[in-house]
Chains A and B, each alone.
Chain A
């Protein structure tokens, strides 16, 4: 079936009279050429919009960024570039701020991603039950995701405010000393993670829910016939059934965590947000990139951070693939 369609589409055996030469023939040939172009060219034309946009907004910036990262350039004078080869990369490697930002990115990433995905899994499991107003809950779980980062972060900033924030007020009413959420490292990272968790849990829950609904009901029936409890059904039927979705959300969350930027920036407010706190206690790689480029106006160093982030992601996935391959070989 597939082959015959391809053949027909490619027009390899067009029915018709045998080919002739002469004037009539050139017209025909032109027609055939256009026809061939049409068949061969049209798919390219149809996918062109994406690739043109990709070239302009992804590939060109990528190449240009790598070029810039080999130079000493200031934002104000982008036309004045001084070739420094890999100096920026060496500097970055020796820069304690980079390692600090990397550590923060990893810790904030872990304390936001792990609970978030676990909660999403639990939530999806609950949403998967037959219950009243399930549509309402499904839609409601997406509301945080639809809220802009800025709005969410601003509200959370007020909730976590030191002197007049809601949380410290609540803590104070049960006799606990106020926590300096912004200035202390772990409270600040926890607060930022809260914003991330709040925003993305519902989104991931819906992804899981969609995958769960694709699991055939007879597997659950068979499991319950075998006497499996709800929990056993969850761990033995649901989890294996949505494994690929879980991997997908982990990949997405890892990319998201690496690029974490808006939440800490707004949480810190103003110049303090750019540096991720006075002590860089919650400066992520995204913020370091921004600080270099748009506070220090050093575009070369900023581009270097961008490339370091990109390489880190590539490295992370290469390691992950390697582990997977080794594991499948040993098993």
Chain B
């Protein structure tokens, strides 16, 4: 045991301990955990966190902004699924680390953000030129004391997408005006048309509608108050609107009018491709999904008709986090991205309906037609539907979660054959767990 040997052991031991320490410390000091971009080599780096197809990257707007502002570099990260995205956002907000300069906020989360995280988002109320939004859109992301935590991207006015060829086979009218007349004014009539469809359609492989949850959402979102009242109290159990929607959706399920699918889940996509259902209640942003999944083979078979009643399902906001090192630049970018011209551009490219009243009024939006949907004048249909959306939209803290829970409750009726009262009870218990 000479001293060179012990030197080596000692050195090795030191390295081993140091290695272990870096392993532990390394986790908390990597660059990823810093918030936002910053200024690098004279360039302003703005980071963005988004989800799904918000149309901002997909339609080339970020590149355009970089071209017009050569000193700005934008780095975006897009999560596929909003639920995953929001969970990560919550974790990062709690840790105060790893946030992007700009963060997307889905409408179902808006209330939770304004209630619990208001101090972590920058205020937009001092930004000029943002008075072009629909009045209710801005109020959804505002706090009680007048802080505006973000600017709106799209909204989700509704229509009904239907298969023209199936309607013809079932002996129903196929023209979109006439189809809209069949159920004008009342969702009950939409279900009634389904009964006629079922009787008239030869063959049993095609259901009238995709899922009971689609109908339920369309009905509930047609009213100013859904699951919460203005005071923030949970009122879904005594809100007649919710019960009425639940019962009608359950009727549709009981009468075998639905394809028993879960929207946006894998079984739904092949259902679109193989045409296993004739109608789907479709918010504007769903059109791009339908055309993509139903594919070229079904082009021209789908059409869009006015929904029985106006409603708003979905829509997002862009917010800027308070601790962002490039807050002002990020706010400028958000204001630009949500300006009427850009919203119009996104609409033309992928069909997301603008939340800007000014954009909605523009000829480009009004006269837009969808080639895939048999040249349906989607600008007019959804524009008119947007006007029908109640001027006040009361949001609640757990809207997103409650919506998902109700969708599952309807699946209980559709797929498990659970009686509706029992399914309602189960849903109520789950909501209590999720909210309390």
Contact = CB atoms under 8 A, between A and B. Distances in A.
Pairing of A with B = yes
Interface of A: 8-9, 11, 34-35, 38, 41-42, 45-46, 48-49, 52-53, 56, 75-79, 97, 157-158, 161-164, 180, 183, 269-272, 275, 278-279, 281, 294-297
B187 to A, nearest CB: 23
B10 interface: yes
B350 to A, nearest CB: 22
Contact of B90 (A163, A279, A297): A297
A241 B94 CA distance: 54
B20 A296 contact: no
A157 B266 contact: yes
B412 A45 contact: no
Nearest to A44: B13
Contacts, number: 110
Contacts of A35: 6
Nearest to B431: A296
B1 interface: yes
A80 B435 CA distance: 16
Interface in B29-44: none
Given A35-B6, A275-B408, A163 B17 contact: no
A41 B13 contact: yes
Contacts of A52: 17, 20-21, 23-24
10 contacts: A38-B10, A48-B17, A49-B19, A52-B24, A56-B24, A76-B116, A78-B95, A163-B276, A278-B416, A296-B434
Given A38-B10, A42-B9, A297-B87, 11 more contacts: A49-B19, A49-B23, A75-B90, A79-B94, A164-B270, A271-B407, A279-B416, A279-B418, A281-B416, A294-B87, A295-B401
Interface string B101-139: 000000000001000110000000000000000000000
Nearest to B436: A298
A270 B262 contact: yes
B81 interface: yes
A274 to B, nearest CB: 8
Nearest to B410: A278
B64 interface: no
A45 B93 contact: no
A270 B264 contact: yes
Contacts of B266: 157-158, 161, 269
Contacts of B430: 275
A270 B83 contact: yes
A159 B412 CA distance: 23
B143 to A, nearest CB: 15
Interface in B250-268: 262, 264-267
A41 B264 CA distance: 59
Nearest to B117: A76
Interface in B68-107: 81, 83, 87, 90-91, 93-95
Contacts of A272: 262, 265, 408, 411
- The bracket for how many chain B residues form the interface is 35 or more
B16 A48 contact: yes
A256 to B, nearest CB: 25
Interface string B402-436: 00100111011001101000000000001001100
Most buried by B among A49, A76, A77, A269: A76
A278 B413 CA distance: 10
B374 interface: no
Contacts of A295: 83, 401, 404, 434
Nearest to A97: B433
Given A42-B10, A45-B14, A279 B412 contact: yes
Contacts of A97: 433
Contacts of A183: 411, 415-416
B9 A269 contact: no
A295 B108 CA distance: 13
A97 B434 CA distance: 13
B401 A296 contact: yes
Contacts of B87: 75, 294, 297
B4 to A, nearest CB: 12
Contact of A76 (B81, B94, B411, B416): B94
B367 interface: no
Contacts of A11: 1
B291 to A, nearest CB: 20
Contacts of A38: 6, 9-10
B253 to A, nearest CB: 12
B274 interface: yes
B95 to A, nearest CB: 8
Contacts of A275: 408, 430
Contacts of A270: 81, 83, 262, 264-265
B271 interface: yes
Contact of A77 (B81, B116, B265): B116
